[in-house]
Copies of this chain bind each other. A is one copy, B any other.
Amino acid sequence: MSTKSKGTRYERELFHMFWENGFSGVRTAGSGSTPFPAPDLLVSNSRKILAIECKAVRSNRKYFPEKEISELNEFSIKFGAEPYIAIRFDRKGWFFMHTRDLGFGKTAHFISYDLAVEKGKKFEEIIQ
């Protein structure tokens, strides 16, 4: 499977995990379908609303275009959601990073595996 289709499969699995744990929500069709920014997942259990961009990566570090982060933040502020990046490292599972906890290099935000371990939440924590 391509990296992209694996990413889609993992994103779908994550969406199912939220539903199995008392959340409802939507998976968006992907960028390009509307002129407005939209997170990959928008889920809520009526107490906690999460706007989530999902990434499955093979390396130990992932960079994010500034636009992706600013759009996620803007969307979330208007909606009243918490902006998260869900990042899945091979064989390490998902970590949920609030956008305020991302690293910032010379020109772009990033998440490293070490930073995810330090600042990220695991699925069991994010659904609390």
Contacts and interface: CB of A to CB of B under 8 A. Distances in A.
Copies in the complex: 2
Interface stretch (A73-81, A84-92, A95-103): A73-81
Interface string A55-96: 000000000000000000011111111000000000000000
Interface residues of A, number: 31
A14 interface: no
A7 interface: no
B46 A34 contact: no
B77 A46 contact: yes
The residue among A12, A15, A24 with the most chain B CB atoms within 10 A of its own CB is: A24
Given A47-B80, A78-B44, A27 B34 contact: yes
11 contacts: A12-B34, A15-B34, A15-B36, A22-B78, A26-B39, A26-B42, A27-B34, A28-B29, A45-B78, A46-B78, A46-B79
Given A19-B36, A44-B81, A46-B80, 4 more contacts: A26-B26, A26-B38, A29-B29, A42-B42
